[in-house]
Amino acid sequence: MRLRPWRVTGAALAALLLAAGCGGDDDEAASGESSEYCKATTAIETAPFPDIDFESMSPEQLSSATKQFATSTLRPMADRVVAAAPDEIADDIAVLNGAVTQLEETGDFETFESPQVEEASNNAHNYDLKHCGWDEVDVTATEYKFEKVPKKIDAGLASFELDNKGKELHEIVVLRRNDGVTESFDQLLDLPEEEAMEKATVLGQTGGLPGEKGIYLVSDLQPGQYAMVCFVPQGTVTEEPSEEGGPPHFTLGMKQEFTVEA
């Protein structure tokens, strides 16, 4: 099994990180004003990755597909977030909403990489960690292993918080083994990708450059067996993996299994 290598670009950020809806303390679950906001930001955080072939499309095709994604998928969800935004972070949500508008107009994901947008996203993220009542799962990545990942996680919404302390780019891809499948994750990862994807489901993926932290992935975890995997080729240190990269990190041991319980 070999997923397309994740790339640390605004494309991934814009698709999944508009309003930074992540986990928090169980005793500070959303209520009142925050409740509708948390529902809205949860929807945009857990939205499927856009069905856009970033690698083979021409610049014109990519721009057109991106505009369509922003208008048809991001815009309705962004409007919900704006309408429900608490006063405390209304200005930050306005900045993020403006980035979506620019994406609709230009088809250029780099708008999400500006310092202003990154600051607004961080502010919203911190609010969500405090108020939305989701589980927060810290993950440390090094060569070539994940650390801190618990063996058991409660079902529900969880935010995987990635701290890349390694010298290479690392990602987290969260896989759930489909119900009724008896093969181990090692066996599934040895299968051709198309066959493996009939037996496992990708919940999401994100990654960070060497030394980067503050990257996260929000997932709605159902009871079952899971694995966190890094598919980045060995030796990758920049946003663009080398065509001459080494074997995927998971073949070197960068795979962590865990159970989600009701």
pLDDT tops 50 at residue 16? no
Q: Are residues 151 and 74 in the same domain?
A: no
Q: Are residues 121 and 139 in the same domain?
A: no
pLDDT tens, position by position, 124-135? 988 888 888 888
Is position 225 within any domain?
yes
Q: Average of pLDDT values for 49-71? A: 85
What pLDDT does residue 30 have? 43
pLDDT band at 152 (very low <50, low <70, confident <90, very high): very high
Question: 140: helix, coil or strand?
Answer: strand
Is position 110 within any domain?
yes
pLDDT band at 141 (very low <50, low <70, confident <90, very high): very high
Is position 1 within any domain?
no
Of 105, 131, 157, the one marking the end of a domain is: 131
Is position 113 within any domain?
yes
pLDDT tops 60 at residue 182? yes
Is position 208 within any domain?
yes
What pLDDT does residue 180 have? 96
Q: Are residues 20 and 105 in the same domain?
A: yes
Q: Are residues 122 and 16 in the same domain?
A: yes
Q: Are residues 109 and 189 in the same domain?
A: no
What is the rounded average pLDDT for all residues in the chain? 84
Is position 39 within any domain?
yes
Q: Average of pLDDT values for 14-19? A: 37
What pLDDT does residue 96 have? 93
Rounded-to-integer distance, Cα 4 and Cα 12, Å: 13
Q: Please answer whether residues 100 and 112 qualify as being in contact, where contact means their C-beta atoms are separated by less than 8 angstroms.
A: no
Q: Are residues 171 and 254 in the same domain?
A: yes
Of 97, 131, 165, the one marking the end of a domain is: 131
CATH of the domain at 169: 2.60.40.420
pLDDT tops 70 at residue 15? no
To 5 degrees, how large is the angle CA 198–CA 203–CA 205?
115
Domain of residue 71 covers: 10-131
Alpha helices in the chain (DSSP H): 10-16, 33-45, 59-69, 75-84, 90-106, 115-131, 185-189, 193-196
What pLDDT does residue 125 have? 83
Name the pairing type of β-strands 156-164 and 213-221. Answer: antiparallel
Residue 216 Cα to chain centre, angstroms:
6
Contacts of 1 (CB under 8 A, 6+ apart): 188, 189, 190, 191, 192, 193, 196, 197
Of 96, 131, 166, the one marking the end of a domain is: 131
| Total domains in the fold of the chain | 2
Cα dist from 101 to 10, 89, 192, 241, 258, whole Å: 15, 19, 39, 30, 39
pLDDT tops 50 at residue 11? no
